[in-house]
Chains A and B, each alone.
Chain A
């Protein structure tokens, strides 16, 4: 732990909650803000990512469900940014004046969700990943205001999972072209979500977030938790996924990591790569990064320039 503040360390070890910046060390504050930024950016960017697909909803009711999920995501983003503001950051600057590449959200959202089916699989896989990551923070988080805010966030995430599970079950049972379209989305989105949890523990051997109780599980433990939730469900409804139960854990049926063609939405399981290659792809961001951030930022600045007093 990069802090030399014995009373703060004692507080953390005891399991006490930190309630205000005056109790924090500078290192803790920096790590907390980074964790909040990733959470806020992920929730925020999921809104334009989901909106592209929600517009293709097959009914008014389905459209309302999609829009309600987007509304939840924006509210969840707002919680994280609001806490950052209380910690001294400028919320407006964070959302509207940052460079697109500096947004810290999973690469998966940069690959376009172009159909209702892909939104369903996003609710099934991406929201389940969000549920695991936030659930872990909710359980372990040492910062009181965020931990309490997550009480509500976690309940709302269940609704998103329900949309993913209900529709994917329905589409799998429909068979034919409907089922094929679902399977096609699963084929590119499953490995992308496996990757979501980051470097394996064998490479990432130390986590300051764990030291500070900003999370409780390692990357591999979170990945296994996610697999244990999605693989049995997919098997039950007849969706093929490249993973299987192996003892107490789940094993992947393809080399991890391997290369991904974002434009074609295709993985090459015959072309394993190193984590340096993955990190390079993540840092370069994917097809929709600039467009989605611009969609959020452009109108804000346009409105400001023409409505100075609004």
Chain B
């Protein structure tokens, strides 16, 4: 998808303690078929940041994601892609 996960509104929080980064993340649906890819991308990308040695991703479902959590940039990107949001 041509939209990053922050603009999609699925990143609920990021905290860093020394080399350890904790991410609270949700998915647009519990049956998200891309869940594995997203988790892998998040870990891989954060480990490329200087000083990051460990990434912990918590998958959370509260509050449930809705389209209202998207940024305007996210909406624009998805509309360009042909999705009504």
Assuming A151-B82, A152-B82, A155-B82, is B33 touching A64 (CB within 8 A)?
Answer: yes
**Interface bits A51-74 vs B (CB < 8 Å: 1, else 0):** 000000001011011011100000
B36, A61: Cβ atoms closer than 8 Å: yes
A159 at the interface (CB under 8 A from B): yes
Number of interface residues of B (CB under 8 A): 10
Residues of B within 8 A of A68 (CB): 31, 33
B81 at the interface (CB under 8 A from A): yes
Residues of B within 8 A of A166 (CB): 36-37, 40
User: Which residues of A are at the interface with B, using a C-beta cutoff of 8 A?
Assistant: 59, 61-62, 64-65, 67-69, 151-152, 155, 159, 162-163, 166
**A interface: dominant SS:** helix
User: Which residues of B are at the interface with A, using a C-beta cutoff of 8 A?
Assistant: 31-37, 40, 81-82
**B interface: dominant SS:** loop
Tell me the complex Cα distance, A62–B82, Å.
Answer: 26
Tell me the complex Cα distance, A227–B82, Å.
Answer: 30
Tell me the complex Cα distance, A59–B40, Å.
Answer: 15
Tell me the complex Cα distance, A68–B35, Å.
Answer: 12
Among all A-B residue pairs, the 4 with the closest Cβ atoms: A68-B33, A65-B33, A61-B36, A64-B33
Tell me the complex Cα distance, A15–B32, Å.
Answer: 40
Q: Give the residue of A151, A155, A159 whose beta carbon is less than 8 angstroms from that of B34.
A: A159
